[in-house]
Amino acid sequence: MSVEERVISQYYKFRTDYGGYTVYFENDKRWSKKEIRKIFSKYGPIRKVAQSHVYLGSHCFVTFVNEQDVRRCIQEMNSHGEIQLLGITRGKERPSHLLAKNHHYDERKAEPTQSQTGAPRKVLAPTQPKPDVNSMNKERIDDNIIKYEETLEKIVLGAIDDIDYAELSKYIAEPVRPPAESRDIINEIRERLDKFSNVLQKITILNSQRIPEKSFYVLLDSCIPWKILKSVVVKEEVACPVILANANGIPSADVLMDLLVKYQPLLITHMEVTTRHFARYCRLYFKDAESADKVEAEFDGKELWGSKLIVQRVTKLK
């Protein structure tokens, strides 16, 4: 088995969303998934971007929804692009270890046997055949699903103006909360403000032969001891935190990062959940108060993804 075949085998081993048309290449320039998605999205909607750190190095897989898009991508990339694609694979059926296994037992009557204690052993009854997972998946992949995935792609890419909210609302069941419930959410978050710090750690990884120099921000109480790591410079900076709550319809914090890219957020935390109304919320950190005020003015009370957002600066909640 060649290296490429082993890489592909490893890729499918850990995948759960089989289907689509995948191109792969050796990511020798150490691009992030976000950078790779931006490069390839101009050819069509992308279902998934994945990395495989095995064998000769980091291989990247980009899965398209439509076959014509991936064909055009291969033709243009390999002719004048800076990425040389190694090949294309068609999404295959799930491996046998993920399929429903139908156990067939002998239909003849099993005679119970006596154990040493004299108690009869249990007799296994025949089980009913389970539905085939592959056939169920093929039925679900229809035009509506593809249209929904294309809408999600626009969200990820930040093309908010091109989104058909009427179409997207079909898939969202989260109602707009009444004002009293929104106040309860704010009050519960206000009780947790003592745990929130407005100081971030700016982490700078120094340039080396394998890793280029780059900087990013983490929370002050990060579980990683950045200050004692080699080739790492840590600097504490004061930021302007903003609370974004009632974000139940937002897919992930990464989507928020793309949505707010023009305000240059330093950090967006993972989603947390309130205990009383099960509302999802997170913290957004900005470099200056001006950016934080603009985000609050634009998004507070705005309905996105079926939810009426609550956006407040932490200083106003104290």
pLDDT at position 98 over 80:
no
**At the fourth CATH level, which superfamily is domain 180-196+239-317?**
RRM (RNA recognition motif) domain (3.30.70.330)
Work out the angle at residue 122's Cα, subtended by the Cα atoms of residues 117 and 126, and round it to the nearest 5 degrees.
165
The reply to whether 3-80 and 180-196+239-317 are identical in fold is yes
- Residue 109 pLDDT grade (very low, low, confident, very high; cuts 50, 70, 90): very low
- Average pLDDT on 17-24 reads 69
- Share the mean pLDDT of the chain: 71
- Average pLDDT on 122-145 reads 51
Tokens of 316: 């106003």
Q: Read off the pLDDT of residues 169-207 as tens digits, 9 standing for 90 and up.
A: 444 444 455 566 778 888 888 888 877 888 999 988 887
Hey, where are the domains in the chain?
Answer: 3-80, 180-196+239-317, 199-238
The answer to pTM > 0.75 is no
CA–CA gap between residue 233 and residue 202 (Å, rounded): 8
CA–CA gap between residue 273 and residue 80 (Å, rounded): 48
Q: Which fold has domain 3-80?
A: Alpha-Beta Plaits (3.30.70)
**Which among 287, 310, 193, 190 is positioned nearest to 240, based on CA atoms?**
287
Q: Read off the pLDDT of residues 26-54 as tens digits, 9 standing for 90 and up.
A: 777 778 888 888 888 888 888 888 876 54
- Average pLDDT on 220-234 reads 83
Say what the pLDDT of residue 158 is: 47
**Helix (H/G/I), strand (E/B), else coil: 286:** strand
- Lowest mean pLDDT of 119-123, 124-128, 133-137, 227-231, name the range: 133-137
pLDDT at position 286 over 90:
yes
- Residue 304 pLDDT grade (very low, low, confident, very high; cuts 50, 70, 90): confident
- Average pLDDT on 72-90 reads 72
Per DSSP, helices labelled H in 43-89 are 67-80
pLDDT at position 127 over 80:
no
